[in-house]
């Protein structure tokens, strides 16, 4: 049985958002209930306590004045960072704990106490830029985990795979010139936040360490599988990651209100299998950090599908076989060719 750490806490429920906001506490409640019903709980270990992220680490990723802004906004009772992104009275402390949860997951895997880990945290993080939050995100949990892996444990080849339906503009910006983190994003084209184009490949020493793969609506299970098999896994074989970090957003699910990609829970199980394969091209270390996913049943079953792969256990959860008219094969094949052409400028895949 695989040793899998699940980082979860009631603290993450205390980040309150306005009524009808997609990023709400019920997301985590639904996932935790689904894990209990799946029968996988006994295959997961949980930390007794998670510490807030170290402030020096936080300020190495986010500008101190932005950190102070979030703290002061929360102390004043809350407010809006942007039209989508809310800070409540407890949100600063919760965001510190969420980032700390991602760092705790990486720490357990780096120290060999777990083979893999899943950080079930909120608020999410991959849109958070060095100097501002956006897209429901306050602090960039996955980026902070990557920096901790590099600076505390000497892991110099970190593959950060972002399969959220939205491009992780914050993560890309943080590592834009950094050759220790290879950022790979699959995301819906012409979608929020408007970044993640083919020609965004990094700069300076970081050139070639960003690969964006914008995909058409209705890519679906089969399209994603092909992209992972023919681009992501071979790229991992060239990079040989010390750690594979997944920005695990589940808003590409067919029922999600914020996308149109038609991926099923079974499709996310396949993506997790391929992520595990990619991690094994290096050391095998894998950590997933929750990002988006706003249809509660879709999110819950998709996370269970991911944990089913990580624990190597069969869940009691039913994963219905959904059939959709997905994007045509030639369209997906063209995206794969373009992604490989871009990657081949820098990597032997």
Q: Give the tokens for residue 96.
A: 């510190």
Q: Give the C-alpha distances (Å, rounded to integers) separating 332 from 160, 190, 191, 217.
A: 22, 16, 17, 11
Q: Is the pLDDT of residue 212 over 90?
A: yes
Q: What is the pLDDT of residue 48?
A: 78
* pLDDT tens figures, 38-79: 999 999 999 878 999 999 999 999 999 999 999 999 999 999
d(CA 195, CA 87): 24
d(CA 115, CA 93): 29
> Of the listed 127, 167, 187, 253, which one is catalytic?
127
Any idea of the CA torsion for 51, 287, 216, 320, to the nearest 10 degrees? -100
Q: Give the tokens for residue 140.
A: 């960039």
d(CA 130, CA 333): 35
Question: Are 192 and 275 a contacting pair, CB within 8 Å?
Answer: no
Q: Is the pLDDT of residue 14 over 60?
A: yes
Q: What is the pLDDT of residue 6?
A: 98
Q: What is the pLDDT of residue 321?
A: 72
Topology given in CATH for the domain delimited by 4-344: 3.40.800
Q: What percent of the chain has pLDDT over 90?
A: 96
Residue 55: how many other CB atoms lie within 10 Å: 11
307 prior amide bond cis, ω within 30: no
* pLDDT tens figures, 87-117: 999 999 999 999 999 999 999 999 999 999 9
Question: Are 148 and 154 a contacting pair, CB within 8 Å?
Answer: no
Comparing CA positions, the residue from 195, 192, 149 lying closest to residue 171 is 195
Residue 347: how many other CB atoms lie within 10 Å: 18
Residues near 2 by beta carbon (within 8 Å), at least 6 away in sequence? 43, 115, 116, 310, 311, 312
The 3-state DSSP class for residue 38 equals helix
Q: What is the pLDDT of residue 146?
A: 98
Q: Is the pLDDT of residue 1 over 60?
A: no
Do strands 116-119 and 4-7 pair parallel, antiparallel, or not at all (unpaired)? parallel
Helix (H) or strand (E) holding 237: helix 233-239
* pLDDT tens figures, 224-279: 999 999 999 999 999 999 999 999 999 999 999 999 999 999 999 999 999 999 99
Mean pLDDT of the chain: 97
pLDDT band (50, 70, 90) for residue 304: very high
d(CA 16, CA 168): 23
Residue 127 falls in the annotated catalytic set: yes
d(CA 143, CA 103): 9
Residues near 337 by beta carbon (within 8 Å), at least 6 away in sequence? none
pLDDT band (50, 70, 90) for residue 319: confident
Comparing CA positions, the residue from 129, 148, 145 lying closest to residue 137 is 129
Q: Is the pLDDT of residue 171 over 70?
A: yes
Q: Give the tokens for residue 144.
A: 């902070």
> 262 in the Ramachandran plot: left (φ > 0), alpha (ψ -120 to 50) or beta?
left
d(CA 163, CA 110): 22
> 135 in the Ramachandran plot: left (φ > 0), alpha (ψ -120 to 50) or beta?
left
pLDDT band (50, 70, 90) for residue 309: very high
């Amino acid at each position: 049985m695989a040793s899998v750490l699940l980082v979860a806490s009631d603290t993450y429920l205390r980040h309150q958002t306005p009524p009808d906001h997609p990023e709400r506490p019920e997301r985590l409640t639904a996932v935790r209930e689904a894990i209990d019903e799946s029968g996988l709980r006994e295959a997961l270990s949980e930390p007794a306590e998670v510490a807030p992220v170290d402030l020096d680490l936080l300020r190495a990723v986010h500008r101190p004045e932005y950190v102070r802004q979030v703290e002061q906004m929360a102390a004043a009772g809350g407010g809006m960072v942007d039209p989508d992104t809310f800070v409540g009275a407890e949100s600063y402390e919760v965001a510190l704990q969420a980032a700390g949860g991602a760092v705790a997951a990486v720490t357990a895997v780096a120290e060999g106490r777990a083979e893999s880990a899943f950080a079930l945290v909120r608020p999410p993080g991959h849109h958070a830029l060095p100097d501002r939050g956006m897209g429901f995100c306050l602090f960039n949990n996955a980026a902070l985990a990557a920096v901790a892996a590099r600076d505390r444990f000497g892991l110099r080849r970190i593959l950060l795979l972002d399969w959220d339906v939205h491009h992780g503009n914050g993560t890309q910006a943080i590592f834009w010139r950094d050759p220790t983190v290879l950022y790979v994003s699959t995301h819906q084209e012409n979608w929020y936040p408007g970044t993640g184009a083919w020609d965004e490949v990094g700069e300076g020493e970081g050139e070639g360490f960003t690969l964006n793969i914008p995909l058409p609506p209705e890519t679906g299970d089969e399209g994603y599988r092909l992209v992972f098999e023919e681009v992501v896994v071979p790229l991992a074989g060239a990079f040989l990651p010390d750690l594979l970090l997944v920005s695990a957003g589940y808003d590409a699910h067919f029922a999600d209100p914020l996308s149109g990609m038609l991926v099923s829970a079974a499709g996310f199980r396949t993506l997790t299998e391929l992520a595990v394969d990619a991690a094994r091209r290096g050391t095998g270390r894998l950590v997933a950090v929750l990002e988006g996913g706003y249809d509660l049943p879709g999110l819950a079953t998709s996370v269970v599908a991911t944990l089913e792969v990580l624990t190597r256990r069969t869940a009691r959860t039913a994963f219905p076989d959904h059939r959709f008219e997905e994007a045509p094969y030639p369209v997906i094949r063209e995206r794969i060719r373009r992604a490989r052409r871009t990657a081949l400028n820098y990597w032997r895949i």
